[in-house]
Amino acid sequence: MSQSVNPFESARTQMKAAYEYLAPKYDHEFTLALSPERIIEVSIPVVMDDGSTRMFTGYRSQHNGARGPYKGGIRYHQDVNKDEVMALSTWMSIKCATLDLPLGGGKGGIIVNPKELSERELEELSRGYVRKLYKYLGPTQDVPAPDVNTNGKIMAWMVDEYSKLVGSWTPGTFTGKPVSIGGSLGRDTATAQGGVYVLTSYLESKNENIAGKKVMIQGAGNAWLVMAHLLKEAGATIVGVSDSHGAIYDTSGIDITAIETLKAAKKSVQDHISGTHYTNAEFLELPCDILIPAALENQITVENANKIQAKLLLELANGPVTPDADTILFSRSIPVIPDILANAGGVTVSYFEQVQNGMNYFWSREEVQEKLKLKMNQALKWVLASSASHNVMLRTGAYIVAMERILEAMKTRATE
């Protein structure tokens, strides 16, 4: 799939398309919101197991803090770059505002293939990242979380390092932590669970339901596995799955438990003995009722948007559909439930985790899921109403909702 599309320019293009419906009330604030407020680049030394010292480059982009502390994950990937983290921090600002969370947008990353590091090296890298950035982090400043190739164990190392540096236990500085040190129940499944809540409500708004739908999911990380199980429980048939090595497709349904076993053994979905094998590019163009991109950015572009056969897309990944592809899909009457709504369950429960850390009082899993369902369903109603009112695609409708909240906060804080 083409990677030539700059994700930060995609984010800015999406903002500009939505601002047409808000101008000229916030022209000054909009100009400011087009760029991150701060971008930090650091060099992190790590003493490797062989005794050599290796330098790693890390980033933190803080896009907009008008509505509250910056919020967003930290990813470990060999393709991390400055434009990517700037884009992701922008999308986090929009995402938090779409859900009406009192947070801004941030994102971080380290250029590394974590599979090449031992656990000791990974821990040293994680703690080193915090040592370089801790002055810019904190419960009222910037609250990171897990993202691609990071998890609760890494957050535990980071919050421990941060607390040592500031001299007191400060669990609210990171979310997505293990429950044993202040993490929230339900955070491990929140991204997928939130996506299912939104998808269910969207289909209900069209007098449809999930039962009987044929679903394809691109990307074999934790979120997609949870999503696959939840959709199967709801009566959907998972007909296609993929990972970085390729894809399989079977209209009679795929055994998700068998795929989960393969992934646990560090094998590819293509090692599954049933179904037809496809490349990742071919996979996206196969027929289904619902396609769920759950991998990385720029998967659906002008190169393949006219070949998409899905009837509905739900973006569990960040930025998988480029702006030009969005326009093509909209012209073909293929709705896209955008990432800033569809995958916002993760940041919503991260916000719940912050609240619980601040109170030092924790909720049951059932309470968390009940509150998550209410937030996701209300946000969908706002997005549907905005989209219908302005006769625009769902993404633009969401951006209008979010940007009005962000720009109004910027305007109010500047004048009062």
Q: Residue 93 sits in a domain of what CATH number?
A: 3.40.50.10860
Least confidently predicted of 1-15, 24-38, 98-112, 384-398: 1-15
Nearest to residue 234, comparing CAs of 264, 195, 283? 195
Residues 334 and 195 in one domain: yes
139, 168 Cβ separation under 8 angstroms: no
Residue after which a domain boundary falls, among 342, 359, 375: 342
Residue 31 lies in a domain: no
> What pLDDT was estimated at residue 264?
82
Q: What is the rounded distance in angstroms from the CA atom of residue 323 to the CA atom of residue 329?
A: 10
Residues 246 and 331 in one domain: yes
- The identity of residue 246, as a single letter, is G
CA torsion sign, 82 to 88 to 89 to 91?
A: positive
82 is catalytic: no
Task: Tell me: pLDDT of 222 over 80.
Answer: no
Nearest to residue 339, comparing CAs of 322, 323, 321, 316? 316
Residues 128 and 250 in one domain: no
Residues 71 and 214 in one domain: no
Residue 321 lies in a domain: yes
Average pLDDT over residues 369-374: 98
Residue after which a domain boundary falls, among 181, 199, 227: 181
Bridge partners for 59 per DSSP: 41, 109
Residues 169 and 196 in one domain: no
Confidence of residue 224 (pLDDT cuts 50, 70, 90): confident
Residue 351 lies in a domain: no
Residues 170 and 197 in one domain: no
Alpha helices in 238-321 (DSSP H): 256-264, 280-283
Bridge partners for 79 per DSSP: none
Structure tokens at 351: 């916000």
Residues 62 and 104 in one domain: yes
Residue 43 lies in a domain: yes
Residues 268 and 214 in one domain: yes
Residue 112 lies in a domain: yes
Residues 142 and 208 in one domain: no
Residues 60 and 163 in one domain: yes
CA torsion sign, 375 to 149 to 178 to 48?
A: negative
Residue 4 lies in a domain: no
pLDDT in tens, 329-367: 999 999 999 999 999 999 999 999 999 999 999 999 999
Alpha-carbon distances, residue 250 vs 111, 121, 218 (angstroms): 36, 41, 14
Q: What is the rounded distance in angstroms from the CA atom of residue 343 to the CA atom of residue 74?
A: 16
Enclosing H/E stretch for 119: helix 119-133
Residue 322 lies in a domain: yes
Confidence of residue 122 (pLDDT cuts 50, 70, 90): very high
Task: Using a pLDDT cut of 70, give the percent of the chain over it.
Answer: 98
Bridge partners for 124 per DSSP: none
Q: What is the rounded distance in angstroms from the CA atom of residue 276 to the CA atom of residue 318?
A: 28
> What pLDDT was estimated at residue 270?
83
Q: Residue 291 sits in a domain of what CATH number?
A: 3.40.50.720
Return the number of other C-beta atoms located less than 10 Å from residue 279's C-beta.
Answer: 13
Residues 146 and 279 in one domain: no
Residue after which a domain boundary falls, among 316, 342, 368: 342
pLDDT in tens, 226-262: 999 999 999 999 999 998 889 999 999 999 888 888 8
- Mean of pLDDT over the chain: 95
Which one is catalytic: 95, 107, 232, 375? 107
Residues 153 and 272 in one domain: no
DSSP conformation class of 301: -
Task: Classify residue 46 as exposed, middle or buried by CB count within 10 Å of its CB (0-12, 13-18, 19+).
Answer: buried
Domain that holds residue 176: 36-181
Residue 348 lies in a domain: no
Backbone angles phi, psi at 28, to 5 degrees: -65, -50
pLDDT in tens, 188-215: 999 999 999 999 999 999 999 999 999 9
Q: What is the rounded distance in angstroms from the CA atom of residue 41 to the CA atom of residue 14?
A: 26
Q: What is the pTM of this model?
A: 0.93
Domain tally, the chain = 2
pLDDT in tens, 15-59: 999 999 999 999 999 999 999 999 999 999 999 999 999 999 999
